[in-house]
Amino acid sequence: MERGTPVAIEHDGFRGVVIGHYERLDGKRGVVLQQDGTKVVHVYGEKWVRPADDLESCLACNEPMKAGDKYLWDVSGDPIHAGCAGPERESYTKGDGEPLGPDDPIPTPLTWQDAPNPSPAAKSGEARAGIYTASKTKHAPVWQDYRARGWPINSTWIDEAGPGESADLSDLWDRCIREASTASVLVVYREADDVLKGGWAEVGAALACGVPIYAVGIEGFTIAKDRRIEHFETLDDAMDAAARLAAFSARFQAVCDTPEYRALEAMCSPALATPSPQPADALREALETYYARQIEWSRATFGPALRTGGVIDHIRKELREIEAQPHDLSEWVDVIILAMDGYWRHGGTAESLMPSLLAKQAKNMARNWPDWRTMSEDSAIEHDRSGEPAALTEPAPAGEAVEPEGAERRTMEFLVARFGGHGVTIVRDGERLIGYSLGRRGTIAMRDLLAAVPFASKEYGAE
């Protein structure tokens, strides 16, 4: 199969496109696939892969059935989207496949389950909302009480937690995973004698999609060591914190959706508005494969933390070695590796490095530079900044990085965990400030952001 071919895996419903092939040492061949709507890459043996054209499609619109689609069975035995079904009772069947009788009600649509449920939270920029609650079903009345008192709980299972109250368990699990992975925060609650089962699946779905976890009562489990999980002494404490986080998430998302904020982003990075040229597929794959392996090794060896100061300190040491032996190319390579380590730790990915390099290259090539013959070999050659808008921020000069504190620190941690991106040090009118960078979407000073959302320091950023 050629690169870019849409495919599906019959036994587990995986859907994606071909991005490469492999051959094992024992001669077995396989295909490398990227999952639809995500950056997740899977590998399968060739015998499992089939063209996506073979997928079952809606009888009416001929669109492939996707996980999560609401559908019904037609009398022909083919599926049909609930939205495509007509009003004629003759088009519907009962659960046993027989046509409806004159007194039979129109059936409730089912949820298509032939593929993993696509998580909206996994799509870049998708908004999340609400608090998902994970626990034993016996605690459903507790969650209902919180909801009645104003907590924005999005868990629908709490209204059908009793035996036989869920008409369709397949649909229930579809909702549970979708709601957990698209919440602003998940609260998992366990009492001393509780044996969590489905709750662990919901926690896993949330973690996989970057949803923050607030936990009560799980300290004795190894998953409690995950740095994305914050622990609380009482359920009230966890729910109060979750309410503040959900409110901040909703209001910050509202700010990001305003024309003023989009204009600010555009003003911050005008040169990135033009798409950058794409490298050859082979070059991109070679770099991404190398970098993904390096990231995995670095995370396992040095931990998952930002390590901003540690990476900078290591780079300084390598620069001193370069000064002592400038023709030792391995020392220059050490600096490149360290810079790449800082890149992924602060929000970059193996897939985004090459586009970022190309965008920066295009930006530099478009700038005005002084005649190198007039410059000292031992001094930096900087571009002409006279034509740049005054509102643009400049990188901070060399020196100790400014660390955010108080509301800026807490809000920065939330933004990075919630929306991606990374913190940067910027200079405005000679003053060093903390900034938040969304990569291609631009950079904004934390001071400006907190001014735009003044509730942040009160509702979330307070120590």
Residue-wise pLDDT tens digits, 149-174: 888 998 999 988 888 888 788 888 98
Query: Distance between terminal CA atoms of the chain?
Result: 55
**Amino acid of residue 203:** V
Question: Cα separations (Å) of 366 from 272, 274, 352, 384?
Answer: 11, 12, 21, 11
- pLDDT one-digit tens code per residue, 24-67: 787 778 888 888 877 778 777 777 777 766 666 777 777 767 66
Dihedral of alpha carbons 321, 322, 326, 331, sign: positive
The residue assigned the tokens 């999609």 is 209
> Which of these ranges, 23-27, 77-81, 278-282, 441-445, has the smallest mean pLDDT?
278-282
The residue assigned the tokens 């939205």 is 83
Return all residues near 219 (Cβ < 8 A) that are at least 6 apart: 231
The pLDDT, as a whole number, for residue 9 is: 72
- pLDDT one-digit tens code per residue, 216-253: 999 999 998 887 788 999 999 999 988 888 877 776 66
Return all residues near 267 (Cβ < 8 A) that are at least 6 apart: 389, 391, 392, 442
Calculate mean pLDDT across residues 313-336: 91
**Amino acid of residue 287:** L
Domain ranges for the chain: 6-54, 57-118, 122-256, 274-366, 393-463
Q: Which helix (H) or strand (E) holds 338?
A: helix 329-345
Calculate mean pLDDT across residues 199-220: 91
Instruction: For residue 303, name the pLDDT band (cuts at 50, 70, 90).
Output: confident
The pLDDT, as a whole number, for residue 161 is: 86
Half-sphere exposure of 66 toward its Cβ, with a 13 Å CA cutoff?
8
What is d(CA 232, CA 234) in angstroms, rounded to the nearest whole number?
6
Q: Is the domain covering 122-256 a CATH 3.40.50.450 domain?
A: yes
CB 107 within 8 A of CB 95: yes
Calculate mean pLDDT across residues 170-183: 88
CB 341 within 8 A of CB 313: no
Mean pLDDT of all residues belonging to the chain: 75
* pLDDT higher than 60, residue 280: no
Question: Residue 190, SS3?
Answer: coil
This model's pTM is above 0.85:
no
CB atoms within 10 A of CB 145: 10
* pLDDT higher than 70, residue 97: no
Strand partners, 216: 189
Question: Cα separations (Å) of 217 from 181, 329, 376, 402?
Answer: 21, 53, 63, 36
> Which of these ranges, 14-23, 275-284, 326-335, has the smallest mean pLDDT?
275-284
Tokens of 234: 């009482």
CB 435 within 8 A of CB 220: no
Tell the CATH topology of 6-54: SH3 type barrels. (2.30.30)
The pLDDT, as a whole number, for residue 406 is: 67
Tokens of 238: 């966890």
The pLDDT, as a whole number, for residue 125 is: 39
Question: Cα separations (Å) of 199 from 153, 203, 219?
Answer: 16, 6, 15
Question: Cα separations (Å) of 433 from 5, 102, 396, 424, 454?
Answer: 47, 72, 9, 9, 18
Identity of the highest mean pLDDT range in 91-100, 334-343, 386-395, 412-421: 334-343
Nearest to 153 by CA among 144, 162, 161, 140: 144
> Which of these ranges, 265-269, 295-299, 325-329, 335-339, has the smallest mean pLDDT?
265-269
Calculate mean pLDDT across residues 311-323: 92
